[in-house]
Amino acid sequence: MTDLTHPLATVPQDELVARAEADPLRPRFHFVSPAGWLNDPNGVSHWNGTYHLFYQYNPEGAFHHRIQWGHATSTDLVTWTDQPVALEPSEGPDAEGCWSGVLVNDGGTPTLVYSGRFEGKELPCVAVGSPDLLSWTKDPGNPVIAAPPVGVDITAYRDHCVWREGSKWRQLVGSGIRGRGGTAFLYESTDLRAWNYVGPLFIGDASQGDPAGTDWTGTMWECVDLFRAGQGSLGSAPSDGSPDVLVFSAWNDGDTRHPLYWTGRYAGDTFEPAALHRLDYGGRFFYAPQSFQDESGRRVMFGWMQEGRSDATMVEAGWSGVMSLPRTVTAADDGSLRFAPVPEIEKLRRDHVRLPGQMLCGLLEPLETGLSGKQLDLELELQLAPGALLRLGVLGSKDGGTSGRPAEETVIELRRSADGAGDGTLRLDRTQSSLDPAVDVEEKSGPVPMPEGRVHLRVILDRSAVEIFANGVPLTARVYPTLGGEHVSLAAEGTAQILSLDAWTMAGIFDGNRSLFP
């Protein structure tokens, strides 16, 4: 990612925070940094009953530069307390930034494995923490891997996945082999400091597919994450047949593309892929995901919701980047994954409204729902006839004219296949979401299983952050309405039955008294 410099980097701390808090597009119940720049989730974990979220952070301003590790804690995955910066650049191998990594439990000692950046390159480094994870000491032997594998022409080399397997530690480092494709290099260690190179776990083929496509695997794999989707641990035989999953974010020459995952089987020193899947139909708006298993046994994942507005606008606003809501990850019967917001976020629900079930039959004539808001949680149970299209409009603003159509509106569409097969399409139409001509309004869409036409639709709206789940298939995006509209509407083409519609206003999680350096 390109480092940016800007004269507003010298904005006083209080003013930077004030600018961020004043922005009406800033989410209120998703985690955001106090101000400045936020990107990848790091070290996500559940440690002695407390959830820890570390993240890539630049408190100097809303641009990517001199990256540190921000830190927040929670007891419920809903409300977060800012903690002191965990890692910041220092003389030596991370002088140009402490980049993405993970937290592991080394016999009771919290240990971070992260990418230190120096002289334009990233190499693995280690830091150990105090029992409360609030202070960290870097290992004097950093970097713990001195260079990428010898004799391999790499495109990039950074980001880590580390796990205990038997008596040894194993580590993946995201990379790419020039002329071939993305990869994850596998290493082994007894102490997290001295690492032996094993080889590439698996190598993608960048020559396959369309480089502009939503499933192109890229020339480098960022933020690799390997885990068992069901029972058992990595390297063991699965008792329930659940797949192993290799998650990565496809990257190409500085361009962050989209998160993907392979299902297959990890055994020995290799990963045998079975199928490639899109992880989130929002593409780069759910980037660099990282997951962990919490103390209840759930697999929980966070992702970085990038911005879709200009660098100058972000800098002026004083903030950039949103952390997704934490979502659970489960294996589906078809061998892919399903996702859902953790149920804990329901604590934020207020002012419940339930609309009676009804049948929509028409040519997209909007139905007045009486619902409105910028911070909403909507749950719908739907039955779609073959070929039917349901259209849910949010953040709508009336144009004041005679057409009756909104001047701004973000539209979620569900269409069942005309042949009545068990599938359909989820689509997010952002073409009318903003009057600002500079924001990203690219269409996002993908297939969704619709057995017998049934769909459970969940839409979580937090000002400029949108997370959509259709039968467990996610689509995450950003929108930037300029008129402040809150209108919610429904319409259908063909026959769509709304079996139930529940709506809640969502409470905020911050009190506005935050500091760049807690």
Query: Using an 8 Å Cβ cutoff, are 482 and 434 in contact?
Result: yes
Given the structure tokens 């804690």, which residue do they identify? Answer: 73
- Report yes or no: 350 and 504 within 8 Å, Cβ to Cβ: yes
**Cα–Cα distance for residue pair 424/411, rounded to 1 Å:** 17
277 Cβ contact partners less than 8 Å away, ≥ 6 residues apart: 260, 261, 262, 263, 336, 337
Instruction: Give the pair of three-digit tokens for residue 34.
Output: 């106090």
Classify strands 319-320 and 36-47 as parallel, antiparallel or unpaired: parallel
Closest of 416, 353, 430 to residue 385, by C-alpha:
416
* Beta bridge partners of residue 36, listed in sequence order: 319
Q: How far apart are CA 197 and CA 257, in angstroms?
A: 28
Question: Percent helix, strand and coil across the chain, each rounded to 5?
Answer: 5, 55, 40
The vertex-327 CA angle with 219 and 99, nearest 5°, equals: 45
Q: How many CA atoms lie within 13 A of 433 on its CB side?
A: 26
Domains of the chain by range and CATH?
7-28+35-341 (2.115.10.20), 349-506 (2.60.120.560)
Q: Which residues contact 317 (CB under 8 A, 6 or more apart)?
A: 19, 20, 23, 25, 26, 62
Three-state secondary structure of 316-357: HHCEECEECCCEEEEECCCCCEEEEECHHHHHHEEEEEEECC
Expressed in angstroms, the distance from the first to the final Cα of the chain is 27
Within 13 A of 518's CA, how many CA atoms are on the CB side?
19
Overall pTM > 0.85: yes
String of DSSP letters for 129-153: E-TTS--EEE-TT-SSS-SSPTT--
CA distances from 431 to 312, 375, 439, 443, 465 (A): 22, 21, 10, 8, 16
**Three-class DSSP category at 2:** coil
- The tally of CA atoms less than 13 A away on the side-chain side of residue 233 is 7
Query: How many Cβ atoms sit within 10 Å of the Cβ of residue 241?
Result: 10
Q: Provide CB contacts within 8 A for 445, sequence distance 6+.
A: 281, 425, 426, 427, 428, 475
pLDDT the model gives residue 7: 54
For strand 299-305 and strand 287-293, is the pairing parallel, antiparallel, or unpaired? antiparallel
pLDDT at residue number 420: 81
Pairwise CA distance, residues 433 & 406, whole Å: 10
CB atoms within 10 A of CB 333: 7
Residues 293 and 163: their CA atoms lie apart, in Å, by 12
Q: Which two tokens stand for residue 144?
A: 């713990």
Cα–Cα distance measured from residue 271 to residue 68, given in angstroms and rounded to the nearest whole number: 32
CB half-sphere exposure, 510, CA atoms < 13 A = 20
**Tens digits of per-residue pLDDT, 25-49?**
999 999 999 999 999 999 999 999 9
3-state secondary structure of 246: strand
Whole-angstrom Cα distance, residue 209 to residue 59? 39
CB 128 within 8 A of CB 136: yes
d(CA 317, CA 20): 6
DSSP 238: P
Give pLDDT, residue 240: 84
Dihedrals phi, psi of 506, to nearest 5 degrees: -105, 130
What's the gap between Cα 416 and its chain centre?
27
3-state secondary structure labels for all residues of 494-507 = EEEEEEEEEEEEEC
According to the model, what pLDDT value does residue 3 have? 40
The three-state (H, E, C) secondary structure of 393-405, written as one string: EEEEEECCCCCCC
In this prediction, the residues of the chain whose per-residue pLDDT falls under 50 are 1-5
pLDDT of amino acid 1: 35
**Contact indicator for 248, 223 with CB cutoff of 8 Å:** yes
